[in-house]
């Protein structure tokens, strides 16, 4: 006996069996009025009847128009219904009742009036549900939802009234235009989703959304109609006659199954409608409504872009996400769809599908029963995506070894590893059988010294299986003769020791069916319960082209040996042979990405994702595609999630664990990455790539001394002997390691080796990275022009390959070189251009870095308000990224602004907070700089011993770094301290040492400091001409570069020297201007010092009043910021003033 649900599938859906003539009176067309109708004439006629009735009312009781003798519920024209509505014309008729255009006599407005068929309203329960749905629908107040006005009954006839819309529905639009331009579709769908979103928030679900139910008025405003009206008069799923709710083309899979429809069901219908608007056809075809219903359960929807190439990729992905069979993989609400439409990007459902397949075993038994009752058969279920292992399912692992080529023909040599790869792909569909990856088997063979072997004795097979932690091992041989292929295998059960021989024969042209037969024999021998599995033929989960697979296999071999450039044409050839080959697209994306071809990588991975969404790939391949996409999209969190799930499934698989470690590295989780790399090395001690990763992480964590032996071990492993790209990377990391240890000679040597390998490999990304690292060393050594040239060349490569990541990297490093050389405006341009790129990428760590360095440049330019804005913005991203390095640098820059403004206590607090963060993240030059700035503040505060200690800390740090330019800067600060302490002779010696360190170096800002120090020493030695010359040089250098604070400092010191020469007018003008600049920028220490020096000038010219005023101003300012040294100088000057005043009185 057929179940009620199965019977329902055999019944025509609501109104689906009406004739063309009947369709013209579809009640859904109630608002799509015939434009030939003279609406105004009808309204005038109705008003005239109304006026006549009113006149009669004054004389006699109202007489209604009589009903025709054959009255069957249809209301005649001009009939007054319910004593309120004047019937103008019938505009539609359907399964629920009739629809009329009417005039509301009380409110004097046209309305749509819908009457309910008597047979539909006999059940009290039905009427209550109907009434409740209308009450809910009336709650919806939105410009894109039709308004329901009234609900009532007249002469036993149920009715309701609605807003009347002049326009046409989308079905009429599609009949006229076939398909709609993308821009117009977006406008329509945005309005539909806005209306749906409001309805769903009010708890109302449409359940029969289709083009006929969507009106567009003459102002192109969308109105959604019939929220549950035709359906709520019946049960949640079926109509009273056993009809299924919904229309075949637009009904959701859950409605087909008889499940409760919710908001996600409406979003499914939206996906169908959007598909139809864009392409002119619905996604699922069938000769009957039943065929259409079954199609959405059996097959994936076709690609909209295959039918209309003008559809953007993101819009296609939105459509396909709406059309997911599983509601959990769909958008969860209308707002999510609107957000993706607005940002033109989709959070793809592939990750959700993967997670769900891991967590749940599909309830396929009920579905299979349904399929059987419909006569669809088991193949119907087999076309659904395969499930993964449920928590309670025991998993057997199998190691598939290389097969021996008995034919000894090179033509078939590829099948030595090709057959195992095909078997692994086929087996990976099973829930209860897991194949060890071929990469893992290759690694084990290499560890055993048996790389390239394909014949194994029983003992070796057991050792390999034990190392792979597998329960079963499969090895065998194949022979080809006259176009016929024989494959003989032995399946070894490691637990029982039983060996089972297996064999298949067939044509070489039927390799894939042969592998399917092999898989079936293996699973039978392994006692796998096929009734608990959902397996597809190999051609559906891989490729149906042997040539494509063979070419793909060759490409994989090239990639494994480091030949990504060689792999690209092979993969392109494979895709020409089979354009649906998802993994070929994924590997092509990977190869392009490795070589820095970002645009090509993006294009290829989008194709891979599209194929993955619409094909039955094994789970591991789905994870791989999603992880590759995550890396290319610069979404390390998504990559980590994928590899973490895979790592749970393959805990002893080094390649999977390596991928997880690499993703953790990209996330910046250094300690976790180091732990994973070490785990990989434990699993496979000779795994060179893991050793390389470990060395790389040790360098980043500041453990360069430990990293260097690990990196040399990676070189000695032999894994990279012919891998030019990997060799380039290893030598690059070695260069960075030596650089962190201040062994610049070795660092340059290693980086030049890296450059040689990377150029030979045509690895543009690697070449750019090595240029940047070399440039950093040259800049550190003061070889600025060489650094600039390398970075500009790297920038040109990045731009030519459309590699925005490397372009941004080169720009920020070029900015650092220019900033260090004192070219602040060029540095700001570099940083700003890099920031524009990073805004597009949206990675918080990189955004924080760019905002920080821009803030630092604005600070040096004296634009402190701008600097503060950028640093505050940086802090927002620092918090999101939880980046201690960026936090330390941000605190350092903030401290310098506080220092310039005289907020000494805040500056000290920020410096002291920054130093441990900077030290822990390896920013030692910044640690030294922070101590130098602290020494300046302590001197101003009169804390001479603290100043001395800070200078010594800076010296110790820079001596450890052994960077000439940094050591020279600290020596200059030491000399300034010595001058303040009256140790002029010692200061002269210290500056001499600094000058020697800066010989032939482009010192930038440090040269300005050097000239300032030399000027102060010459001033103390009583050589005004020499001091003025030094201060003028400092001023000119600072002005040229844009260092505002240093320029004003040089001008102030120059004024001090000029005062000694007696040029008081010029000194007065200079100091007055410095005070003006300082006030505007709120640089209180500089202003106070300028005021005190000006007071001294006035005192020398016997202008006591003005001198007193300037001293008072200086004291007031110094008191605010705690400038004890300045207060002492002011006290001495005031005493001198008082003494001179007293002397004048005596005279």
Q: Which residue has 């015939």 as its token pair?
A: 34
Name the phi and psi angles at 633, rounded to 5: -80, 5
Distance set, CA 1053 to CA 266, 744, 1088, 1101 (Å): 76, 38, 14, 19
Tokens for 548, please give them: 């494509």
Closest by CA position to 469, among listed 505, 494, 452, 500: 494
> Rounded CA gap, 275 and 302, in Å?
10
- Which residues, 6 or more positions from 38, have their beta carbon under 8 angstroms from its beta carbon? none
DSSP codes, 202-224: TT---S---GGGEEEETTS-EEE
Quote the CA–CA distance of 992 and 999 in Å, as a whole number: 11
Domain 542-634: give its CATH code.
1.25.40.10
Residue among 366, 365, 497, 480 at smallest CA distance from 419: 480
At 1017, list the tokens.
Answer: 């020493």
Tokens of 691: 């050793």
Handedness of CA 1099, 1101, 1107, 1110 (dihedral sign): negative
Q: What is the spatial distance between Cα 579 and Cα 573, in angstroms, rounded to a whole number?
A: 10
> In the chain, where are the structural domains located?
21-163, 169-225+241-381, 390-541, 542-634, 1064-1147
CATH architecture of 169-225+241-381: Orthogonal Bundle (1.10)
pLDDT at position 214 is 93
State the pairing for strand pair 396-400/404-405.
Answer: unpaired
* Phi and psi angles of residue 1022, each rounded to the nearest 5 degrees, phi first: 80, 30
Element spanning 148, H or E: strand 148-154
Structure tokens at 176: 């006229």
Residue count (the chain): 1147
pLDDT of residue 83: 85
Structural contact between residues 751 and 771, judged by C-beta atoms closer than 8 angstroms: no
For 390-541, CATH gives: 3.40.50.10070
Closest to 756 (Cα-Cα) out of 789, 790, 729: 729
Per-residue pLDDT, 355: 37
For the record, the structure tokens of 509 come out as 């042209």
Residue 392: is it exposed, middle or buried by C-beta count within 10 angstroms (0-12/13-18/19+)? exposed
What is the three-class DSSP state of 506? strand
The pTM of the whole model exceeds 0.85? no
Return all residues near 151 (Cβ < 8 A) that are at least 6 apart. 131, 134, 135, 138, 159, 160
**Closest to 402 measured CA to CA, from 524, 506, 489:** 489
For domain 21-163, give the CATH superfamily. Answer: Phosphorylase Kinase; domain 1 (3.30.200.20)
CB 270 within 8 Å of CB 322: yes
Question: How many Cα atoms within 13 Å fall on the side-chain side of residue 989?
Answer: 4
* Inter-axis angle of helices 619-632 and 582-594, nearest 10: 30
Q: Single out the residue of 269, 235, 233 nearest to residue 254, CA to CA.
A: 269
Q: Is residue 1071 helix, strand or coil?
A: helix
Cα 779 from Cα 809, distance rounded (Å): 16
For the record, the structure tokens of 578 come out as 């089979």
Strand partners, 114: 99, 160
Q: What burial class does residue 119 get, using C-beta atoms within 10 Å of its C-beta: 0-12 exposed, 13-18 middle, 19+ buried?
A: exposed
Residues of the chain under the 70 pLDDT cut: 1-73, 94-96, 119-133, 135-137, 227-247, 287-291, 294, 298-299, 345-394, 431, 528-542, 560-562, 614-616, 618-620, 686-688, 719, 1000, 1002-1003, 1143-1147
**What phi and psi values does residue 501 have, to the nearest 5 degrees?**
-80, 140
Q: Please give the Cα distance from 973 to 981 (Å, whole number).
A: 12
The CA distance from 938 to 947, in Å, is 5
Which helix (H) or strand (E) covers residue 163, if one does? strand 157-163
């Amino acid at each position: 006996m057929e179940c009620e649900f199965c019977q329902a599938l055999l019944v025509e859906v609501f109104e689906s069996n009406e004739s063309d003539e009947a369709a013209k009176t579809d009640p859904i067309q109630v608002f799509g009025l015939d434009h030939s109708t003279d609406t105004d004439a009808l309204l005038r006629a109705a008003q005239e009847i109304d006026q006549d009735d009113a006149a009669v009312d004054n004389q006699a009781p109202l007489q209604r128009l009589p009903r025709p003798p054959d009255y069957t519920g249809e209301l005649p024209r001009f009939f007054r219904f319910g004593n309120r509505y004047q019937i103008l014309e019938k505009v539609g008729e359907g399964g629920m009742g009739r629809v009329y255009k009417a005039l509301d006599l009380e409110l004097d407005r046209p309305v749509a009036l819908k009457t309910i068929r008597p047979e539909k309203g006999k059940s009290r329960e039905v009427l209550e549900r109907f009434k409740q749905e209308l009450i809910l629908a009336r709650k919806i107040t939105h410009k894109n939802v039709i308004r329901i006005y009234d609900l009532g009954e007249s002469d036993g006839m149920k009715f309701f009234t609605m807003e009347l819309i002049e326009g046409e529905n989308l079905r009429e639009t599609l009949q006229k235009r076939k398909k709609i331009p993308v821009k117009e579709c977006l406008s329509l769908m945005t309005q539909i989703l806005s209306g749906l979103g409001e309805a769903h928030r009010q708890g109302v679900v449409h359940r029969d959304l289709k083009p006929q139910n969507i009106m567009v008025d003459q102002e192109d405003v969308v109105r959604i109609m019939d929220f549950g009206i035709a359906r709520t008069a019946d049960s949640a799923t079926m109509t009273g006659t056993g009809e299924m709710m919904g229309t075949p083309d637009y009904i959701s899979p859950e409605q087909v199954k008889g499940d409760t429809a919710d908001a996600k069901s409406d979003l499914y219908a939206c996906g169908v409608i959007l598909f139809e608007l864009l392409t002119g056809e619905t996604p699922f075809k069938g000769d009957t409504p039943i065929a259409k219903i079954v199609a959405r359960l059996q097959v994936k929807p076709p690609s909209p872009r295959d039918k209309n190439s003008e559809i953007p990729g993101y819009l296609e992905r939105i459509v396909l996400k709406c059309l997911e069979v599983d509601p959990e993989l769909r958008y969860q609400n209308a707002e999510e769809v609107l957000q993706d439409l607005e940002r033109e990007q989709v959070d793809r459902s592939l990750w959700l599908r993967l997670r769900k397949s891991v967590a749940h075993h599909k309830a396929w038994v009920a579905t299979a029963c349904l399929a059987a009752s419909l006569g669809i058969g088991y193949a119907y279920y087999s076309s659904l995506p395969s499930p993964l292992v449920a928590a309670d399912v025991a998993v057997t692992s199998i190691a598939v070894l290389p097969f021996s080529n008995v034919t000894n023909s090179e033509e078939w040599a590829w099948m030595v590893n090709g057959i195992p790869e095909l078997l692994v792909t086929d087996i990976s569909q099973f829930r209860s059988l897991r194949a060890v990856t071929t990469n893992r088997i290759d690694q084990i063979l290499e560890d055993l010294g048996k790389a390239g072997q394909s014949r194994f004795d029983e003992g070796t097979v057991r050792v390999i299986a034990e190392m792979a932690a597998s329960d079963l091992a499969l090895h065998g041989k194949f022979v080809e003769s006259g176009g016929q292929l024989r494959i003989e295998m032995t399946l070894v059960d490691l637990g029982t020791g039983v060996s089972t021989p297996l064999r298949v024969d067939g044509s070489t042209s039927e390799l894939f069916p042969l592998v399917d037969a092999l898989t079936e024999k293996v699973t039978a021998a392994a006692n796998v319960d096929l009734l608990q599995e959902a397996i597809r033929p190999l051609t559906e989960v891989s490729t149906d082209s042997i040539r494509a697979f063979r070419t793909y296999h060759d490409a994989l071999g090239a990639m494994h040996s480091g030949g990504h450039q060689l792999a690209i044409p092979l993969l392109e050839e494979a895709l020409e042979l089979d354009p649906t080959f998802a993994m070929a697209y994924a590997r092509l994306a990977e190869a392009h990405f490795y070589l820095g071809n970002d645009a090509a990588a993006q294009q290829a991975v989008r194709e891979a994702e599209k194929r993955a969404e619409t094909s039955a790939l094994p789970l591991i391949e789905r994870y791989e595609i999603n992880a590759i996409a995550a890396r290319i999209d610069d979404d390390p969190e998504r990559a980590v999630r994928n590899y973490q799930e895979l790592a749970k499934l393959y805990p002893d698989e080094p390649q999977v664990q390596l991928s997880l470690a690499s993703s953790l590295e990209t996330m910046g989780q250094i300690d976790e990455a180091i732990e994973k790399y070490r785990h990989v090395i434990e699993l496979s001690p000779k795994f060179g790539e893991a050793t390389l990763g470990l060395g790389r992480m040790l360098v980043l964590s500041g453990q360069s001394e430990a990293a260097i032996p690990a990196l040399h071990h990676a070189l000695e492993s032999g894994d990279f002997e012919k891998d030019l790209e990997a060799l380039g990377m290893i030598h690059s990391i070695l260069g960075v390691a030596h650089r962190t240890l201040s062994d610049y000679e070795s660092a340059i040597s290693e980086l030049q080796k890296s450059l040689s390998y990377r150029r030979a490999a045509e690895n543009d990304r690697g070449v750019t990275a090595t240029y940047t690292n070399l440039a950093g060393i040259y800049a550190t050594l003061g070889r600025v022009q060489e650094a600039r040239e390398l970075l500009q060349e790297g920038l040109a490569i990045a731009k030519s390959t459309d590699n925005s990541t490397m372009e941004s990297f080169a720009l920020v490093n070029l900015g650092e070189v220019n900033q260090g050389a004192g070219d602040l405006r060029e540095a700001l341009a570099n940083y700003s251009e890099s920031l524009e790129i990073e805004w597009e990428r949206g990675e918080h760590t990189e955004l924080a870095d760019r905002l920080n360095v821009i803030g630092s440049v604005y600070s040096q330019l004296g634009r402190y308000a701008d600097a503060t804005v950028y640093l505050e913005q940086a802090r927002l991203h620092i918090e999101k990224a939880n980046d201690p390095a960026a936090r330390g640098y941000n605190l350092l820059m903030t401290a310098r602004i506080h220092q310039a403004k005289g907020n000494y206590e805040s500056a000290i607090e920020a410096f002291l907070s920054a130093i441990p963060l900077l030290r822990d993240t390896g920013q030692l030059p910044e640690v030294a700089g922070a101590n130098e700035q602290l020494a300046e503040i302590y001197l101003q505060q009169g804390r001479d011993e603290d100043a001395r200690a800070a200078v010594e800390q800076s010296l110790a740090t820079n001596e450890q770094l052994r960077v000439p330019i940094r050591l020279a800067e600290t020596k200059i600060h030491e000399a300034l301290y010595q001058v303040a302490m009256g140790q002029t002779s010692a200061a002269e010696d210290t500056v001499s040492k600094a000058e020697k360190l800066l010989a032939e170096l482009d010192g930038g800002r440090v040269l300005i400091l050097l000239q300032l120090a030399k000027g102060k020493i010459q001033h103390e030695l009583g050589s005004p001409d020499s001091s003025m010359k030094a201060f003028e040089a400092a001023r000119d250098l600072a002005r040229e570069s844009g260092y505002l604070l240093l320029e004003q400092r040089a001008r102030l010191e120059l004024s001090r020297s000029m005062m000694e020469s007696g040029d008081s007018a010029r000194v007065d003008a200079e100091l007055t201007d410095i005070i003006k600049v300082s006030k505007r920028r709120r640089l209180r220490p500089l202003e106070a010092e300028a005021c005190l020096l000006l007071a001294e000038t006035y005192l020398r010219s016997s202008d006591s009043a003005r001198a007193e005023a300037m001293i008072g101003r200086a004291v007031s300012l110094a008191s605010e910021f705690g400038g004890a040294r300045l207060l002492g100088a002011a006290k001495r000057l005031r005493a001198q003033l008082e003494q001179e005043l007293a002397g004048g009185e005596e005279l």
